[in-house]
Amino acid sequence: MSFSSDLKSELSILPITDMCCACAELSAVVAFSGRLRKGENGYVFSVITENAKVAKRVYDLIKFVFDINSKILISKNKSSSYNVCIKGDEDILKILKTLDLIPHNAHIDKILGITLNLELMDKKCCKKAFIRGAFIVAGAMINPEKNYHLEFVTHRYRLHTQFGKLLAAFGLNSKTVVRKSNYVMYFKNSEEIGDVLALMGASNAVMEYQNTRIYKELRNDANRRMNCDMANLDKTISAASKQIAAIEKLMRKGVFTNLPEQLRQVAEFRLENSEMSLAEIGQMLVPAIGKSGVNHRLRKIVEIAEMYED
């Protein structure tokens, strides 16, 4: 199973206890994923998902709030899908009107669209429940080991703007992109994604996410340090090669022994320790000198060698 599927499964087994939060969560489910179609014997309202636990969650929410027994139809093609459906105009209108998703004087033949009544979520706990309901039916999250990305998808423009304001009330500012006529509200900031998971009540996912995040940061920091060390090593080797070439040139020209004692001492240590840093060479000298002192002497040797033709 994917990280996203595991997350939805965790959210779907949270206890349903408070009526207000159950209404808010179900409102999100219906608004983001509800489908209304006319069948042979009247209208059918359905919520379709590929996650069995999400389907059971939707069924339980409908039963808890309205005491209506919906049906779960299972379709198996390339992958299984679960259709939680309600038949009967009366029950469908009862759900839509009670959740304030349509005007109370609306007729089922005249439903043009679903809009939210944010008064249904006047409490903080209900707002969190609504975000949870939106995610289990219309959300997705990439495995944080690969990338940081969490999103909510809807084809309804007004729902997208209203939901964006709801998220902003928690200090979560999502970005939006249009993908195949859908409005995709997404987060790529790792801290904000962690906040969304916590708001929805996904305690296990939050722990796994934070552990993954810490591991990635440590790994990336180690890689940066290693790359920096490799760059410094390459720089040291390149400089050492140039210095050794200059020293050997002076030896071939027979002028090495004429160098001042301080320059000869540094040169001999460089020849014997090509992999050493300037600071390490400085510590081996008697008396010891600093990195800048060693660098000055070796630069002087290179300058002298450049005075002679090969």
Residue 170 above 90 pLDDT? yes
What amino acid is encoded at 221 in this protein? D
Flag whether 214 is in a domain: no
Residues 229 and 179 in one domain: no
Lowest mean pLDDT among 72-86, 102-116, 175-189: 102-116
Residues 158 and 242 in one domain: no
Q: How confident is the model at residue 118 (pLDDT cuts 50, 70, 90)?
A: low
| Spatial distance between the Cα atoms of 99 and 106, rounded to a whole number of angstroms | 13
Residues 143 and 284 in one domain: no
Residue 112 above 60 pLDDT? no
Query: How far is C-alpha 171 from the chain's CA centre?
Result: 17
Residue 199 above 90 pLDDT? yes
Domain range spanning residue 193?
A: 3-201
pLDDT of residue 96: 81
Tell me the pLDDT of the chain averaged across its residues: 84
Residues 82 and 141 in one domain: yes
Using only C-alpha atoms, the chain has a radius of gyration, in whole angstroms, of: 34
Task: Give long-range contacts, CB 8 A cutoff, 24+ apart: 162-165.
Answer: 162/115, 162/116, 162/118, 163/116, 163/134
Task: Give long-range contacts, CB 8 A cutoff, 24+ apart: 257-263.
Answer: 259/301, 259/304, 262/297, 263/297, 263/300, 263/301
Flag whether 219 is in a domain: no
Report pTM. Answer: 0.69
pLDDT of residue 111: 60
Residues 40 and 134 in one domain: yes
The residue-averaged pLDDT of 37-48 equals 82
Q: How confident is the model at residue 276 (pLDDT cuts 50, 70, 90)?
A: confident
The residue-averaged pLDDT of 21-28 equals 91
